[in-house]
Amino acid sequence: MRRLSPVLLVLMAVLLVTACRPPAPPPQDKLAGVLARGTLIVSTDPAYPPQSQLVEGAQRAANTKCASGQHTANELEGFDIEVAKEIARRLGVEVCFVTPSWDLIVAGSWADRWDISIGSMTITPARMEKLYFSQPYYTTPAAFFVHKDNTTFRNPADLSGKRIGFGTGTTYEYYLEGVLEIPGETFEVVVKDTVLKPYETDLFALQDLALGDGVRLDAVLTAEPTGAEAIKDGLPIKQLGDPVFFEYLAAAVDKASSKDPLPLIKRVSEIIQQMHADGTLGKLSQQFYGLDLTSAAAEFDLGALKQW
């Protein structure tokens, strides 16, 4: 019988050991899963400028790891989008975006369809029941807007009993319902008995308000920068009085994730704190809003929330 060569014997031994080796266990937490997959799947709003919006005519990036139902980084733009891109870059992965409805995002139980929300979500006790929050990356004032030709309303209190538009499932809805709570913030609900007019997103409410037909809406409650951006884009609206409350906006992950989400949100919090410290967030705020909306968010005491 012909002997097997030593080289062949070594190869056979290696193959035998490899065949008997058990497969690598799947990642046990959400952060490890993101790093192993090489993508961070972020939920965002496709029509919420200047925070986030689809880029008209953008072509999907070549050689992407993003799945076919996900948007690549170049297909969206805005403050939230740039924040998400930078977080993914510092994690060492590619960012991919999905655009579920807002009410699905804030409800939790995402069934692992996306990893994290980076979409200007305000930290509230009600949302903390379903989600873990990161260090806030900016703050924003909430204000009422009316048609530019309106002379009836002189301050927000004049809107009591009127038709107010807002994005469904937002802090603006909770404020109008009188149930809004924001950690570290106290405020007074200055409008009473309003007729609530929910919209899928704030921009749609502002577009109806701009019609000025006196039928659909009397005012819209939204983020001051969102209203200012709509005015810049030519909508015939104006802000009514001072902001009525301020929000701390943060990234969020689903408590009901199939893999432990805490390592991911803790790592993202560390990255956001670094972005505050090195000036990245301040520069992005200046780029998209013309002012720094990040300083108060950097000072927010995340530990006071006692999330973990």
Helix (H) or strand (E) holding 141: strand 138-147
pLDDT of residue 9: 47
Report d(CA 222, CA 231) in Å as an integer: 13
Segment 93-111 shows an average pLDDT of 97
Q: E strands, 172-290, where?
A: 195-199, 219-223, 237-254
Whether the pLDDT of residue 12 is over 60: the answer is: no
pLDDT of residue 29: 96
Q: Would strands 39-43 and 116-122 be described as parallel, antiparallel, or unpaired?
A: parallel
How much of the chain, in percent, has pLDDT values that exceed 70? 91
pLDDT of residue 1: 43
Encoded tokens for 150? 């309106």
Encoded tokens for 49? 């400028």
Q: How many other β-carbons are positioned within 10 Å of the β-carbon of residue 106?
A: 21
Tell which residue, 196, 248, 260, has the closest CA to residue 223. 248
Q: 276, 294 in Cβ contact below 8 A?
A: yes
CA angle 296, 298, 300 (to 5 degrees): 70
Q: 121, 127 in Cβ contact below 8 A?
A: yes
Whether the pLDDT of residue 27 is over 90: the answer is: no
Tell which residue, 85, 75, 83, has the closest CA to residue 40. 85
Helix (H) or strand (E) holding 224: helix 224-232
Q: What is the pTM of this model?
A: 0.81
Tell which residue, 192, 222, 176, 84, has the closest CA to residue 73. 84
Q: Which residues of 41-80 are buried (b: 16+ CB within 10 A; e: fewer)?
A: bbbbbeebbbbbbbeeeeeeeeebebeeebbbbebbbbbb
pLDDT digits (tens, 9 = 90+) for 115-174: 999 999 999 999 999 999 999 999 999 999 999 999 999 999 999 999 999 999 999 999
At the topology level of CATH, where does 140-247 sit? D-Maltodextrin-Binding Protein; domain 2 (3.40.190)
Q: E strands, 35-85, where?
A: 39-43, 47-48, 52-54, 71-72, 76-77
* Shared fold status for 30-139+248-301 and 140-247: yes
pLDDT digits (tens, 9 = 90+) for 243-301: 999 999 999 999 999 999 999 999 999 999 999 999 999 999 999 999 999 999 999 99
pLDDT of residue 75: 98
Q: CATH for 30-139+248-301?
A: 3.40.190.10
pLDDT of residue 187: 87
Under DSSP, is residue 189 helix (H, G, I), strand (E, B) or coil?
A: coil
The domain locations on the chain are 30-139+248-301, 140-247
pLDDT of residue 104: 96
Average pLDDT, the chain: 92
Q: Would strands 138-147 and 219-223 be described as parallel, antiparallel, or unpaired?
A: antiparallel
pLDDT of residue 167: 94
Alpha-carbon dihedral 253, 95, 43, 124, rounded to 10 degrees: 40
Q: Would strands 71-72 and 131-133 be described as parallel, antiparallel, or unpaired?
A: unpaired
Q: 119, 105 in Cβ contact below 8 A?
A: yes
pLDDT of residue 28: 83
pLDDT digits (tens, 9 = 90+) for 195-250: 999 999 999 999 999 998 878 899 999 999 999 999 999 999 999 999 999 999 99
Whether the pLDDT of residue 17 is over 90: the answer is: no
Under DSSP, is residue 176 helix (H, G, I), strand (E, B) or coil?
A: helix
Give the burial class of 144: count Cβ atoms within 10 A of its Cβ; 0-12 exposed, 13-18 middle, 19 or more buried.
buried
